[in-house]
Amino acid sequence: MPAKTYIYCDYAAGGPPRAEVFEAMRAHAFTHFANPGAHHPLAYVAKHEMVALHERAARVLGVDSREVIFTSGGTEGDILALRGVMARRANGRDELVVSAIEHHAVLLCAEQLGREGFKVKFAPVTPQGVVDFNALRKLVGEKTALVSIMLANNETGVIQPVSEIAKVAHAAGAKFHCDAVQGFGKLPIKPREMGCDLLSLAGAKFGGPRGTGLLYNEMTNRLEPQIVGGPQEWGYRAGTEDISGQAGITLALELAEAEREKVWPRVAKIRDALEATLKKKLGGKIRVNGEGAPRLPNISNVSFIGIEGQALGIELGEQGFCVGLGSACAPGETDPSHVLRAMGLSWEDAQGCIRISFGADIKEADGERLAELCVANYLKLAELA
């Protein structure tokens, strides 16, 4: 019996590596296997290629190659940024400001820092999921060491005005970190132009290999390393470098940026058509979370009133569509989304959400079919509720 074919609609949680990326990794695994820190001809070849990969990644981001730190993913990048800045207590600053809708990599690290004696403040958001600027300004002050706000939310796709947020941080003498994991490849991302002192990326979100990431660290920043044991990655991340992984994420960066303006407007039309169908056929029985705010072109977070999103997700899975319920990194699978709760949704409405996140390969017919199935399944589940 042939394996069932699924339409994958959970790219916000991560997607497959591109074929070109996989081939680049395979080639590097067999040709650049020597330890770049050794002292013999093959080690020098590996070292030269590693330097070239840093330079290529830096060109995509418009930064200096010495500002690129390759990591194991967005989580490690976030933690190195937060702990690396806070541990230095520069100029006696010991306060961290994050938003209430950050990824759990930031939120849980912030909570841990709070238990270690740092003061952590959480900026609220509007009902559309945008950081409340008036509240943020009141939270950032002379004791603030770091402000960490994501570029685009991983659950709703809502885009934050990070350049303006960076100005708030810098006006108070604080550093600004941006978790840009969801945004790269869909939005123009140049850390310097955005006002970022630090910026995190994850390869699996834009066609790169899982287990790869990148942290931009402005050259004058000094971070406290979190993985010690050697001088690798400018002394900020010890351990023999994974040149194969670095090659994979670097090529993925280049390919994603090159096709950004061509691919995602088409995907946005499919997402918008899906939402239009749901609103037309279900009306007040649904809520598009984040609607009215700028959003990524591929994410739709919808609350289906009166049913559980998990039940809808199971039905869609049986019918060949893989959708998400929220963050794939949430600590409790049955907990309602902290993002939606911060936006003011009730417990029940937050429990009724699903997250649809398309990839570049989504077809118009698949979007239409998914919308029809959401409507049919909702009507069936609502009768059983």
If DSSP codes are grouped into helix, strand and coil, which group holds residue 92?
A: helix
Regarding whether 368 and 246 lie in a shared domain, the answer is no
Both tokens assigned to 87: 């541990």
In a domain, 62, yes or no: yes
In a domain, 266, yes or no: yes
Regarding whether 374 and 324 lie in a shared domain, the answer is yes
The predicted structure's pLDDT at residue 79: 98
The predicted structure's pLDDT at residue 1: 37
Distance between CA atoms of 378 and 360, rounded to whole angstroms?
Answer: 27
H-helix or E-strand containing 323? strand 321-323
The predicted structure's pLDDT at residue 136: 98
- Nearest residue to 24 via CA among 65, 43, 52: 52
Regarding whether 364 and 333 lie in a shared domain, the answer is yes
In a domain, 300, yes or no: yes
Q: Which parts of 100-233 are beta strand (E)? A: 119-123, 144-148, 175-179, 198-202, 213-217
Regarding whether 266 and 234 lie in a shared domain, the answer is no
The predicted structure's pLDDT at residue 4: 76
Sign of CA dihedral 331, 337, 343, 348: negative
Domain finish residue from 216, 238, 256: 256
Regarding whether 320 and 205 lie in a shared domain, the answer is no
- Nearest residue to 52 via CA among 68, 30, 41, 33: 68
Domain finish residue from 237, 256, 275: 256
Distance between CA atoms of 196 and 147, rounded to whole angstroms?
Answer: 10
Distance between CA atoms of 73 and 244, rounded to whole angstroms?
Answer: 15
If DSSP codes are grouped into helix, strand and coil, which group holds residue 209?
A: coil
* Residues whose CB is less than 8 angstroms from the CB of residue 126 and which lie 6 or more positions away in sequence, other chains included: 132, 293, 343
In a domain, 2, yes or no: no
286: domain CATH number?
Answer: 3.90.1150.10
Regarding whether 210 and 312 lie in a shared domain, the answer is no
One digit per residue, the tens of pLDDT, for the chain of length 385 reads: 345 799 999 999 999 999 999 999 999 999 999 999 999 999 999 999 999 999 999 999 999 999 999 999 999 999 999 999 999 998 899 999 999 999 999 999 999 999 999 999 999 999 999 999 999 999 999 999 999 999 999 999 999 999 999 999 999 999 999 999 999 999 999 999 999 999 999 999 999 999 999 999 999 999 999 999 999 999 999 999 999 999 999 999 999 999 999 999 999 999 999 999 999 999 999 999 999 999 999 999 999 999 999 999 999 999 999 999 865 555 555 678 999 999 999 999 999 999 999 999 999 999 999 999 999 999 999 988 6
98: domain CATH number?
Answer: 3.40.640.10
**CA angle 82–214–162, rounded 5-degree value:** 60
In a domain, 319, yes or no: yes
In a domain, 88, yes or no: yes
Regarding whether 183 and 160 lie in a shared domain, the answer is yes
Concerning whether 329 is annotated as a catalytic residue, the answer is: yes
Place of tokens 């990524």: 296
pTM for the model stands at 0.95
Quote the domain boundaries for residue 240. Answer: 19-256
H-helix or E-strand containing 107? helix 104-115
| Candidate list 109, 322, 329, 374, residue with the active-site label | 329
Regarding whether 283 and 212 lie in a shared domain, the answer is no
In the chain, how many domains are there?
A: 2
In a domain, 1, yes or no: no
Regarding whether 167 and 57 lie in a shared domain, the answer is yes
The predicted structure's pLDDT at residue 329: 53
Regarding whether 209 and 299 lie in a shared domain, the answer is no
In a domain, 241, yes or no: yes
- Expressed in angstroms, the distance from the first to the final Cα of the chain is 35
Instruction: Note the residue count of the chain.
Output: 385
Regarding whether 276 and 154 lie in a shared domain, the answer is no
Domain finish residue from 256, 274, 295: 256
Regarding whether 268 and 348 lie in a shared domain, the answer is yes
Q: Which parts of 128-236 are beta strand (E)? A: 144-148, 175-179, 198-202, 213-217
